[in-house]
Structure formats: structure tokens, C-alpha cells
Amino acid sequence: MPEPKTEKKAAPKTSGKLDLASIGGLALALAGILGGLIIEGGKVKDIAQFTAALIVLGGTFGAVLVSTPLRTVVGAMKRFLGVFHDRSSPLGPLIDDVAGYASQARKNGLVSLEQVAEGISDPFLKKALILAVDGTDLQEIRKMLELEIELEEHHAEAEAKVFESAGGYAPTIGIIGAVLGLIQVMKNLANIDEVGHGIAVAFVATVYGVASANLLFLPAANKIKARISGEVHRKELIVEAVSGIVEGLNPKLIRLKLEAYAHGAPAVKAKKEKQSVEPAPAPAKAEA
């Protein structure tokens, strides 16, 4: 008799949600600045200058292209969407799933996870389980997965630095825009009535440069770094989980270990980085 076909569950898609902190923070900053301008008797149209925005944004983007490889810039633009849309998933369901895999492997062996691995939507977890099922040595599994984490973290940090560079260039480009505006003002010194208005318009580029750097580019770089840290944390947890499954640890012990790791890994990582930076103490001199 032919064996009954096992139905594979569709891999759940990673659901994302709007990052209210990013959206609300940017809205609050703009509201505070524009609100202060209006309270002081100014108008929004006083700083609504298309030419100033063109000089600052165009000049900044051009400087970034000169200093950064195009592939990295394209990757940074794609990653920029993650500043306002959080696609990260909580670690609780992941720990539950991994504990279930550990129970199945303990009862039926690692080979029983082969079909389960094929239906996993997380590519990193899927790869880790397939390596485990194929009988790869535990040390080799760790090396391969940790190398992948390190390379991905390196690329992501390079993409975050794109916005750090933009945050450094934008204020300077704003000053260039202000100087260009003042040059135009100097051409019309004969008309004194227009000089004051022209100077005010000229400095709008400086406002755009400083504002874009401190309200958008630099905060975006920091948020991307936070996303990177969270993703690395998640993958390191997967490495620990699969290592426990390969070693045949008790599923309850694996769960407790992962729960502790989920809460304490960032602090442990920061402590290790600090210890690696601090110089080793000098050996004591022997007394004569």
C-alpha cells in the first residue's frame, strides 16, 4: 500500500507592524520646531524653499555616492524602510518552537526533524536544523552559523554608516546652500528692501541641512543599528538552541537556557566587548 502523504503546513509569513516610536518621534520633532516657529510669529512658508531642499538633499546624496559603494547605498535604501516598519518577531514563539523540536528529536531522533525543517519559514533556523539533521559536526555547525552572522552584521553596519555619512555631510551642504544664497543677495544690494528677505531665505538651506541630519539621517542610522542588534541576538539564540538539540539536552533545560539567554545575552555581549577592549594587567615584577 502506498504511504499516506503528509500535508505540509504553509510557512507563516513574517508579519510586520509600523514603528510608532519612529513615526511619532519624527512627527513630534517637526511639530515642536514648526510650532515654535509659528509661536515666534513666523510662517511655515518662510522655510518652505524648494531650491534649498534641492541643494541639501541633492548635494548630500551625491557626496554619499562618492564615498560609498553603490551596492551598499542600494542596500541602505532598502533597509531604510525598516526604520518605520518593524519586521522583527518576538523571541517567545521561537523558543516554544525550538523546545518542540528538541522534544521531537529526543523521542524520535534528529532525522525526524528533516520534514519539519523543510516547512520552516525562517531561513537561518531552517539552515541550522538541516545541518543538524545531516549529521554535521557540532563545532562545524557553530563555525558556519557564526560566520554567517558575522558577515551579515558587517554588511548591515556598513549600510547603517551610509546614513551616518549623510548626517555628517548634510549640515555642511546646508552651509554651502546658505553661501550660494548670500551670493545672490549681494548681487541685489542696490535694492535694500529685498536684502533682508534674501538673507532670511539664504539661511533656509542651513536649517534644512541641520534638521535633516539630526531628525532623519542620524536617528535612522541608530535605529538600523538597533534592528541589527536584535536580529543578531535572535540568530545567536538559534545557534544555542540547535547546539542543545544536537547535544541531546533535555528540552526543559534548553527552554530555560534560551529564556535566560533571551534576557541576558545583550548584557553578556557588552561585557565581553568591554573585556576585549581593556588591556591586560602588566605582570608583577619579582622581588629581588
pLDDT by residue for the chain (288 residues), tens digit each? Answer: 444 443 344 334 445 688 888 888 889 988 898 888 888 888 888 788 888 889 999 999 999 999 999 999 999 998 888 888 888 778 888 888 888 888 888 888 888 888 888 888 888 988 998 888 888 888 998 999 999 999 999 999 999 999 999 999 999 999 998 888 888 777 777 676 667 667 777 788 899 999 999 999 999 999 999 999 889 999 999 999 898 888 888 888 888 888 887 776 544 454 444 444 455 455 544 443
Positive or negative, the CA dihedral 150, 101, 14, 23 is negative
CA distances to 41, 60, 202, 206 from 38, rounded to whole Å, are: 5, 28, 19, 19
Positive or negative, the CA dihedral 174, 180, 181, 183 is positive
Q: What number of other Cβ atoms are within 10 A of residue 52's Cβ?
A: 24
Phi, psi of 119 (to 5 degrees): -95, 5
**Nearest Cα to Cα of residue 143 among 62, 242, 23, 45:** 242
Residues 6+ apart with CB under 8 A from 34: 44
3-state secondary structure of 283: coil
